[in-house]
Amino acid sequence: DLPQRAQRLPLPESLWAEGVRRYGFHGLSYEYVLESLDAKAAGRLIIAHLGGGASLAAVRDGRPLDTTMGFTPLGGIMMGTRSGDLDPGVLVYLLRRGYDAARVERLVEREAGLLGVSGRSAELATLLAHRDTDPRAALAIDLFAYQVRKQIGAFAAVLGGLDRLVFTGGIGEHAAPVRAAACDGLDYLGVRLDPKRNAAGVERISADGAGCEVLVVATDEDRMIARHTRTVAFGGG
């Protein structure tokens, strides 16, 4: 479980008692990655699960300290069609303009994120293919990478430094330009990529001698679902 300071929203106690709190998401992916890392899961770790849904988690010695998603999978960084975190005043503004709850939900869940900014696609690969000729596609990619980079910096502060940074998920595993952009300017954390390794998508993409090891790890959420289902059904490991 997350520490209470990471779960708690700055709302009245009555809403906390109702279960209105930050839960996070992508737990199966994080669990698989940590098991795959084995001994490398020790120390200060940030895992970036980047796909159609995206989140980051701060982990110390295998235990989660914080994550970007909150009460629902709509929160945190921007995603394929989801907005991520917004100023609550934006939602109030939309309601006063005549949007009902269903319309607001459709906007932030299905019409925002990479799709909303680019006006073209929720698929990162499509946007990368058009970024040189479509300024909105380029902006969507830049905004996504910026939000990932900003969250890495925030979680490094939570952890008191950074030993390993792990990319996983469809974008995290396959989009080398996004990994490079997300890591740009993080030299102060010891994050330096080897361009050839990053382009190849090998497991370790950090430069030799870098203070922070940067890894690409393929996730397998289906395997974790099968394992947990078997445990519940049969009591096996």
> Measured in whole angstroms, how far is the alpha carbon of residue 31 from the centre of its chain?
14
Here the tokens at position 154 are 């925030």
- Tell me if 218 is assigned to some domain: yes
Here the tokens at position 15 are 């809403």
Q: What is the dihedral of CA 122, 125, 126, 128, to 10 degrees?
A: 110
What is residue 90's predicted lDDT score, i.e. its pLDDT?
A: 98
- The answer to whether the beta carbons of residues 172 and 50 sit under 8 Å apart is yes
Integer Cα distance of 99 and 92 in angstroms = 9
Integer Cα distance of 230 and 86 in angstroms = 39
- Tell me if 75 is assigned to some domain: yes
What is residue 116's predicted lDDT score, i.e. its pLDDT?
A: 99
Length of the chain: 237
3-state secondary structure at position 165: strand
CATH number of the domain encompassing residue 229: 3.30.420.40
**Edge-to-edge strand ranges of the sheet holding 63-67:** 63-67, 54-60, 44-50, 164-168, 213-216
> How many beta carbons lie within 10 A of that of residue 232, not counting itself?
9
Q: Name the residue with tokens 């006006």.
A: 119
- Tell me if 152 is assigned to some domain: yes
- Tell me if 81 is assigned to some domain: yes
Number of domains in the chain: 1
Domain that holds residue 26: 18-234
What is residue 91's predicted lDDT score, i.e. its pLDDT?
A: 97
Tens-digit pLDDT profile for the chain (237 aa)? 899 999 999 999 999 999 999 999 887 899 889 998 987 788 999 999 999 999 999 999 999 999 999 999 999 999 999 999 999 999 999 999 999 999 999 999 999 999 999 999 999 999 999 999 999 999 999 999 999 999 999 999 999 999 999 999 999 999 999 999 999 999 999 999 999 999 998 999 999 999 999 999 998 665 666 676 677 778 765
- Tell me if 11 is assigned to some domain: no
- Tell me if 7 is assigned to some domain: no
Integer Cα distance of 99 and 95 in angstroms = 5
